[in-house]
Structure 1
Amino acid sequence: MMPALITSAGDRASIRFLEFFTSAIRNPHTRRAYARAAGDFLSWCASAGVTSITAVQPLHVAAWIELQTQAHAAPTVKQRLAAIRHLFDWLVTGQIMPHNPAASVRGPSHTTKQGKTPVLEASEARQLLDSIDVSTPIGLRDRALIALMVFSFARIGAALAMRVEDVYMQQRRLWVRLREKGGKAHAMPCHHTLEAYLHAYLEGTGLVAEPKGPLFRTIRRGTGELGDTPLPQANAYAMVRRRALAAGIATAIGNHTFRATGITAYLKNGGTLENAAAMANHASTRTTQLYDRRGDDVSLDEVERIRV
């Protein structure tokens, strides 16, 4: 539903507002996050007595951001402020507003040297993979998906967007083709374990005959067989939590856990940060460093030195 502050500014404002989410933002996850932030902000403005989008002032943006810092972590607040800034930039260039009221508003400071994503030890990752019953299509699918994220550092969005033809032979080795953020295509040779799991999945489910179909699919109710629709991200999250619980793993893992687990395991075994960044399709090694959790082992060892 169109926010009241937008409709009150006229048809041009309404059209321009819709174009921001349909034309200016291509990533569906970013679109959802920005739409949620914009909706929350405009609803708050309406409750504060603002009657039109053109009446929004820096003071309104600053007050809303202050409220956000009380309910959300700094990275989330910064993302929400970015959403509002980009929206107003779009409205300014469309001549809906004379200036961007969010341009001068500063977000909370935030620096980090390590990500917060829960990471599994290599033995735990192996425990999880070995615990999956692969006598059924769903078991073959789940093991292949988790292994793909561990051994190729794939983001869950890229993994779930794969088609069957994105698993292919090249140079006598199985490769995977991933479509990452910003539409960037990224190809990687498969680790021998991943190669075995993907072969078992494709051959055990008959997906080889459907090269244009989605690689990871939902299960038809009551049949236990693969359907035709891609597996949603929320379903993948529920699956990994369920599999971890069944394997006796207490860590509160998520889809992103396996990317961080794979990168950390690679670096522990002598891999370089530069190669890890290339394999993860990171633009900078600084991003890859957020996934490097080797320091956790040092911290645990040092804590045990506290003897009382």
Structure 2
Amino acid sequence: MLEGFLDYLFIERNFAGNTRESYRNDLRRYMLWLQEEGVALETLTTENIGRFVDSLHLAGLEPSSVARNVSAIRSLHRFLFQERLLPTNPAETLHQPKKNRHLPSVLTIDETRRVLEAPMLKEPPGRFRLRDRAILELLYASGIRVSELVEMRQQNLYLDERFIRVFGKGSKERLVPIGDEAAQWIGRYREELRLRLANRNSLDHLFLNARGGKLTRMAVYSMVRQYAVLAGIAKQISPHTFRHTFATHLLEGGADLRAVQEMLGHSSITATQIYTHIDRTFVREVHRTCHPRG
């Protein structure tokens, strides 16, 4: 039943692979909860689903994750009802929770520098410090998502031109510029470490683990947290923090919002505007300098 729904998302709704996998994980959690509660799909009520959503909040999931779970559940039950696999659709009146639009955590320029340098300061030196430094530099230089980073292939690197080709949500392709630092660290990692890690399981993936396979998102998350602690950063940061930091630092430096939208791969300018929470002294200075009556 679940696999049939996931096939429907892929074949008929043209869902991206990452979105489909997220739905799979969300719905497996949902099915397990129903099983533990002793609730059958045939007798499921809206109240049952509401209790499951409450359990997600109690578990500490981010509002955006809860909203995605609700979307997955609504889509599943709509599919099951339309295909006549279930007699009713108990999720029809389930409300989509509002997402909190909170300001994302952002590193200062000094904090960013400290995290980027942390792999080279670790004692004793770690075996993967060149790889880790290259990952951190690329996250900050490009603002790519962690899912885009772990899927990055060598064939999509244009280091001489200081560009990378990225395949984002919905398999949308974009070219993202990177700076000299990121290009140089990636080059060092490829020459001095990747060649030793690579095997037949590596395919063309850029960043490899100890077994020569591609890194997982969780491995990158754990690595970022480790170096944040080593750098003495008190903030709770993740790979996505570098995406926020990348966008914020560009805008604080005077970058055009549309250009940042293009680099982040946002389909709407609205999604990019969350990063305009730049320092108020900077905004006042721009107004004072540029406005005729500033």
Other-structure match for 1:20: 5
Other-structure match for 1:261: 245
Please give the alpha-carbon distance, in whole angstroms, between the structure 2 residues aligned to 1:168 and 1:44. Answer: 46
Native 8 Å contact 1:240 1:254 kept in 2: yes
Give unmatched runs, 5+ long, in structure 1: 1-15, 220-226, 299-308
Q: What is the aligned-residue identity percentage? A: 26
Other-structure match for 2:204: 213
Give unmatched runs, 5+ long, in structure 2: 283-294
- Shift, 1:145, TM fit: 0.8
Please give the alpha-carbon distance, in whole angstroms, between the structure 1 residues aligned to 2:156 and 2:183. Answer: 13
Please give the alpha-carbon distance, in whole angstroms, between the structure 2 residues aligned to 1:132 and 1:17. Answer: 42
Pairs within 5 Å for 1:100-179: 100-112=89-101, 114-116=102-104, 118-133=105-120, 138-168=128-158, 173-179=161-167
Please give the alpha-carbon distance, in whole angstroms, between the structure 1 residues aligned to 2:240 and 2:265. Answer: 15
Other-structure match for 1:90: 79
Larger mean CA deviation between 103-112 and 234-243 belongs to 103-112
Pairs within 5 Å for 1:206-245: 207=195, 212-219=203-210, 227-245=211-229
Larger mean CA deviation between 23-32 and 280-289 belongs to 23-32
Please give the alpha-carbon distance, in whole angstroms, between the structure 2 residues aligned to 1:66 and 1:136. Answer: 42
Other-structure match for 2:278: 294
CA deviations over 1:202-222 (Å, ceiling 9, x no partner) = 2223649x8952100112xxx
- Shift, 1:240, TM fit: 1.2
- Shift, 1:68, TM fit: 4.2
Secondary structure of the structure 2 residue equivalent to 1:131: helix
Other-structure match for 1:270: 254
Other-structure match for 1:181: 169
Native 8 Å contact 1:141 1:216 kept in 2: yes
- Shift, 1:290, TM fit: 2.5
Other-structure match for 1:10: none
- Shift, 1:162, TM fit: 0.9
AA paired with 1:94? Answer: E
Native 8 Å contact 2:67 2:96 kept in 1: yes
- Shift, 1:79, TM fit: 1.9
Question: 2:48 aligned to 32, 35, 60, which one?
Answer: 60
Please give the alpha-carbon distance, in whole angstroms, between the structure 2 residues aligned to 1:202 and 1:48. Answer: 50
Please give the alpha-carbon distance, in whole angstroms, between the structure 1 residues aligned to 2:174 and 2:255. Answer: 19
- Shift, 1:247, TM fit: 2.1
The count of residues paired between Structure 1 and Structure 2 equals: 271
Question: What TM-score does the superposition give when structure 2 sets the normalisation length?
Answer: 0.79
Native 8 Å contact 2:9 2:20 kept in 1: no
CA deviations over 1:5-61 (Å, ceiling 9, x no partner) = xxxxxxxxxxx322223452555654454344434444554566644x233233433
- Shift, 1:275, TM fit: 1.0
Please give the alpha-carbon distance, in whole angstroms, between the structure 2 residues aligned to 1:130 and 1:36. Answer: 35
Larger mean CA deviation between 287-296 and 179-188 belongs to 287-296
Cα RMSD, aligned residues only: 3.0
Secondary structure of the structure 1 residue equivalent to 2:166: strand
Other-structure match for 2:190: 202
Larger mean CA deviation between 182-191 and 27-36 belongs to 27-36
Please give the alpha-carbon distance, in whole angstroms, between the structure 1 residues aligned to 2:90 and 2:155. Answer: 47
Please give the alpha-carbon distance, in whole angstroms, between the structure 2 residues aligned to 1:28 and 1:273. Answer: 28
Please give the alpha-carbon distance, in whole angstroms, between the structure 2 residues aligned to 1:47 and 1:239. Answer: 34
Secondary structure of the structure 2 residue equivalent to 1:230: coil
Question: What TM-score does the superposition give when structure 1 sets the normalisation length?
Answer: 0.76
Native 8 Å contact 2:252 2:279 kept in 1: no
- Shift, 1:157, TM fit: 0.7
AA paired with 2:228? Answer: A
- Shift, 1:186, TM fit: 1.9
Other-structure match for 1:3: none
